[in-house]
Amino acid sequence: MEYVSQKTVTILERRLGLMHLFFFVLIMGYMVGVRLVMEKGYQAVEISHGFVSATLEGNTYSKGNGQAYAVDMPELIGPQLESNALFVPTTVATTRRQVQDNCTDPEQPCNADADCMRQPPLAYGLCEDGRCVQLGWCPRENFDVTQVTVLQNLRDLNVILAADMHFPRLGSERMSTEDGRNARTSWPLASLIKRAGVPYATAVSDGLVLSCVLEWACDLNPGAAPCVPRLRVYPLAVNASFSAQWATYYQVRGGMRAGLAPPLAPPEHSPQTHSRAHLPTARCAMVLRRSSTATCTTRRGCGCSSPRAAPAAASTSTRACCSSS
């Protein structure tokens, strides 16, 4: 049996001693100054759990055919497509008074009947005026009958971000933006776009996908300052085209609207519910995109267009629009 030990050699050399002392002080300074004092490395760190809800507040109006039309929030962001996100359209195209009928489809050009698909009872392979005839909600969306309105003053709208946060192991108290802390919950839409570093005009004209992150960096020690969240905004996609479609149904008697019959879709001015999404992190995605194809039809079958470039943060929200027709 033996024991192997390290032999210690003491080298008497002034410069070697000074060099060793220099590196020793450097490392000790990093350990004590940076890791312990500045970064408070002696504290425990815990990943938080919480959720956030995003709603819109304010009034705006739209312009179309030379007329102004007041738009409130339920109409602007309804139907709610995403629970923890906001889709704010800038342009709305409305096709009114659609009925079930056989009519030509602008998206199916043809020269002869042979060019049109035959799929009874939806289509019988007929070509009229250079377009295929198909059963559906008529008239189809096109520039002749579809009214396009551009929403104005979107910069004055406020985004309300209400969030709850909880540190299960370190703190028993659930923190919220609405429990009396000096936390800010309302941000102007223009401010969020500015924080993302994107010009407002570009965002409105080309579309924009933002990721809004409420960051809670809390000191839970006794006597610490109240913990308030800090908002960080990141642009996820610029010039991102996005559209959503929904339909509203009416019963018509004698050519007049006699009443609402909303078995499939809510009426135009139903009270808007603010849904809250339970997510593991306080992250919300807000979508502001050019919605030249965002369509609100008054009498039409439901359609839900999938985004061509779905953002990562917003992809967690399913687009549950009108699954039945």
Partner 1 sequence: MILALVPIAGTIADTIMTNVFAERRHYQEYKNEMTPDFSDVRAKVEQLEQQTQATQQKMLDYGED
List contacts with partner 1 (CB under 8 A): 3, 5-16
Least Cα distance to 275 among 30, 51, 32 occurs for: 51
- E runs forming strands in 254-301: 256-260, 283-289, 295-297
Q: What's the closest the beta carbon of residue 1 comes to partner 1, in angstroms?
A: 13
Q: Is the Cβ of residue 7 or residue 308 nearer to partner 1 in the bound state? A: 7
Q: What's the closest the beta carbon of residue 321 comes to partner 1, in angstroms?
A: 51
Q: What's the closest the beta carbon of residue 18 comes to partner 1, in angstroms?
A: 10
Peptide bond into 121 cis (omega under 30): yes
Q: What's the closest the beta carbon of residue 15 comes to partner 1, in angstroms?
A: 8
Q: What's the closest the beta carbon of residue 41 comes to partner 1, in angstroms?
A: 14
Q: Is the Cβ of residue 45 or residue 70 nearer to partner 1 in the bound state? A: 45
Q: Is the Cβ of residue 11 or residue 201 nearer to partner 1 in the bound state? A: 11
* Three-class SS state of 131: strand
Q: Is the Cβ of residue 5 or residue 182 nearer to partner 1 in the bound state? A: 5
Q: Is the Cβ of residue 3 or residue 143 nearer to partner 1 in the bound state? A: 3
Longest alpha-carbon distance in the chain: 110
In whole angstroms, give the CA distance from residue 274 to residue 234.
24
In whole angstroms, give the CA distance from residue 37 to residue 59.
49
Q: What's the closest the beta carbon of residue 219 comes to partner 1, in angstroms?
A: 25
Q: Is the Cβ of residue 13 or residue 178 nearer to partner 1 in the bound state? A: 13
Q: Is the Cβ of residue 28 or residue 258 nearer to partner 1 in the bound state? A: 28
Rg (alpha carbons) of the chain, rounded to whole number: 30
Q: Is the Cβ of residue 11 or residue 114 nearer to partner 1 in the bound state? A: 11
Q: What's the closest the beta carbon of residue 5 comes to partner 1, in angstroms?
A: 6
> Would strands 85-89 and 283-289 be described as parallel, antiparallel, or unpaired?
parallel
In whole angstroms, give the CA distance from residue 110 to residue 308.
27
Q: What's the closest the beta carbon of residue 59 comes to partner 1, in angstroms?
A: 58
Q: Is the Cβ of residue 2 or residue 129 nearer to partner 1 in the bound state? A: 2
How many residues appear in the chain? 325
Q: What's the closest the beta carbon of residue 213 comes to partner 1, in angstroms?
A: 31
In whole angstroms, give the CA distance from residue 53 to residue 55.
7
Q: Calculate the dihedral angle through the C-alpha atoms of 105, 109, 112, 113, rounding to the nearest 10 degrees.
A: -40
* CA 56 to chain CA centroid, nearest Å: 11
DSSP state of 277: B
* Three-class SS state of 302: coil
**CA distance from start to end of the chain:** 86
* Three-class SS state of 16: helix
Q: Per the structure block, which two tokens stand in for 198?
A: 């994107």
